[in-house]
Amino acid sequence: MTTVKNYLSLVKFSHTIFAMPFALIGFFLGVIWKQNHTIPAVPYYVFYGLPFIGVLICMITARSAAMAFNRYLDRSFDAKNPRTAIREIPKGIISPSSALRFVILNCIIFIAATFFINKICFLLSPVALFVVLFYSYTKRFTFLCHLVLGLGLSLAPIGAYLAVTGRFDILPLLFSFAVIFWVSGFDIIYALQDVEFDQSQHLYSIPATVGKTKALHVSELLHILSAACVIAAGFYGHFHFVYWIGIAVFCGMLIYQHSIVKPNDLRRVNLAFMTANGIASVVFGVLVIADLFLN
């Protein structure tokens, strides 16, 4: 049991709360599309149950592989940074070789799960893994690393939609773009904690490159773009009032996190990062899905 807890801590399993609701939005958008275009030859719980299980497995394994690989690759930097020296690999709780085996295992399970979902998900699975794993290298050569992280998490809604329908569509792509800008924006806020360390180690981030004040402005712009995407999705998808309540909460949490984090006061970064964004994602996801089925 202790070993399981250690690996859950290694991959920050609680942070799954960010992308999972958007994956579920993509999944249920696919369900609605499928109901309008297909008459299932099997019971609905079989027709949608297997893709749903596949989506959950893919979400968990892809994210676990990405996080564990990031910890494995950054282990020397984490050991030098007082904020991250308590992580499992620097502390010797999990060995680097064990972490790498964990990454490989999750990648294999991810690809296997896509094989049982549909052909397009299986064919695109190496691309998805490349994106989520490649992020771990980006801080070594570009300040745009935050956008690569956002891109990785943005695969959740469109990937889940593909799992159900086997086709691309504009509406789930709008949610994917919303995720890119949203995640990139709050990752910039999180990176404010390591500006001095990143500069000393020649690591790239927007805060380390342009300074804390300008970085917060960039984060604000990205969050405005994220809000614009979910608003555009609301009009394009002809959603109803429950959806717009979700948008109000989502945008409210974006505004809130920028109101409590200042360049010279980072005491509430974790409140902004985890609490505000967790509420934004979960509440928005629940209300979007409710709107889909209540109207």
Adjacent-strand bridge partners of 262: 265
Name the band, by pLDDT with cuts 50, 70 and 90, for residue 36: confident
Mean local confidence (pLDDT), 270-274: 83
Token output for 54: 């596949």
CATH number of the domain that residue 53 is part of: 1.10.357.140
Q: Is the pLDDT of residue 107 over 70?
A: yes
User: Residue 19 sits in which domain range?
Assistant: 2-294
Q: Provide DSSP, 161-198.
A: HHHHHSS--HHHHHHHHHHHHHHHHHHHHHHGGGHHHH
Name the band, by pLDDT with cuts 50, 70 and 90, for residue 259: very high
Cβ atoms of residues 280 and 253 within 8 Å:
yes
Q: pLDDT digit string (tens) for 223-236?
A: 999 999 999 999 99
Which has the closest alpha carbon to 258: 211, 229, 206, 219? 219
Return the percentage of the chain with pLDDT > 70, whole number. 96
State CA 130 to chain mean position distance. 15
Which of the residue ranges 30-44, 181-195, 199-213, 216-230 would you say has the lowest mean pLDDT? 30-44
Residue 40 has what pLDDT?
A: 56
The total domain count for the chain is 1
Distance CA 198, CA 200 (A): 5
Alpha helices (runs of H) in 84-237, residue ranges in sequence order: 88-91, 96-117, 119-138, 145-165, 170-191, 195-200, 206-210, 212-236
Residue 41 has what pLDDT?
A: 46
Q: Dihedral of CA 278/112/128/202: which sign?
A: positive
Mean local confidence (pLDDT), 52-81: 95
Mean local confidence (pLDDT), 83-100: 94
